Copies of this chain bind each other. A is one copy, B any other.
Amino acid sequence: MSDPTAGLDGLPRFVIDRSSPVPLYFQVAQHLENAIDSGAVPTGTLFQNEVDLAASLGLSRPTMRRAMQHLVDKGLVVRRRGIGTRVVKPKLHRPLELTSLNDDLNRAGRKPTTEVLSFKRVEAADEVADRLEIPEGTPVLELIRLRRADGEPIAKLINFLPERLANFSEEDLAEHGLYDLIRGQGIALHSATQTLGARNATAAESRMLDEPKGAALITAQRVTYDDHGMAVEFGTHIYASSRYTFEVQLFT
């Protein structure tokens, strides 16, 4: 009776707001997610079966299933036929999202600052044109930035944007992340492909990033695409490996 991995009866009372524009499955998923994150439903807990859960909330089973699937996609629970739905370790959460270095640093409690080293129109050279899928020689905006965290240099960021997205100033760029400025123009970011590698720093790079001569740098090349599959940004970045690492979450 006092099974430590019992039902969900102890959950804070919860009623669905059918007049809300928020989808029912999402209301349920969010409620369960909060319950898990807050510790009210500890790791290892076995949920009530989805049929009963749906009935007790006054929902159909498909709607309840959709809420559950949402939690599965987030890595919060694991479902097994014949067994049930179990809450997994809280640290497994959160797949990698499309975030900017700026956001990452802010979230980590570091104070990011940006120095804009270059902000000008250039003609797209070979690789830039290729990655952005535009003709060679097309005008693009070239941005070179030095990103610091708490005053320490972290990364040198070189980015190229199609001219149609160049509706912001150098001052905007110093204060906002590039992604924010792109989103601010009504562009919905969809995905990005990033290649991570490493190479030795040149003398100039060592000085700029305050690293020893020939230090190992992390290199990243990234192309970001919008909802329509159009490339919106191409960047080649180097990171001071003594002060920055990449966290990646992988799921089955």
Q: Give min CB distance, A241 to chain B, whole Å.
A: 4
Cβ contacts under 8 Å, A86 to chain B: 228-229
- Assess whether B196 is in contact with A229, with CB atoms less than 8 Å apart: no
- Assess whether A248 is in contact with B190, with CB atoms less than 8 Å apart: no
Contact of A228 among B78, B197, B251 (CB under 8 A): B78
- Assess whether B229 is in contact with A89, with CB atoms less than 8 Å apart: yes
Q: Give min CB distance, A251 to chain B, whole Å.
A: 5
Q: How far is the CA of A177 from the CA of B88 in the complex (A)?
A: 26
| CB-CB under 8 A for A91 and B193, given A200-B215, A216-B216 | yes
Contact string against B for A residues 212-252, beta-carbon threshold 8 Å, 1 for contact and 0 otherwise: 00111110000001011100000000000100111111111
| CB-CB under 8 A for A245 and B197, given A98-B251, A190-B252, A229-B88 | yes
Cβ contacts under 8 Å, A249 to chain B: 191-194
Q: Give min CB distance, A39 to chain B, whole Å.
A: 15
Q: How far is the CA of A199 from the CA of B246 in the complex (A)?
A: 13
Apart from A200-B200, A200-B214, A215-B216, what 13 extra A-B contacts exist at CB < 8 Å?
A44-B229, A75-B190, A89-B225, A91-B193, A96-B250, A189-B252, A191-B251, A192-B249, A194-B250, A197-B245, A198-B216, A199-B241, A218-B218
Can you name 28 A-B pairs with beta carbons within 8 Å? A44-B229, A62-B62, A73-B73, A78-B227, A78-B228, A86-B229, A87-B229, A88-B225, A89-B225, A96-B96, A96-B250, A97-B250, A97-B251, A97-B252, A98-B252, A189-B252, A190-B251, A190-B252, A191-B249, A193-B248, A193-B249, A194-B247, A196-B196, A196-B248, A197-B244, A200-B215, A200-B216, A248-B248
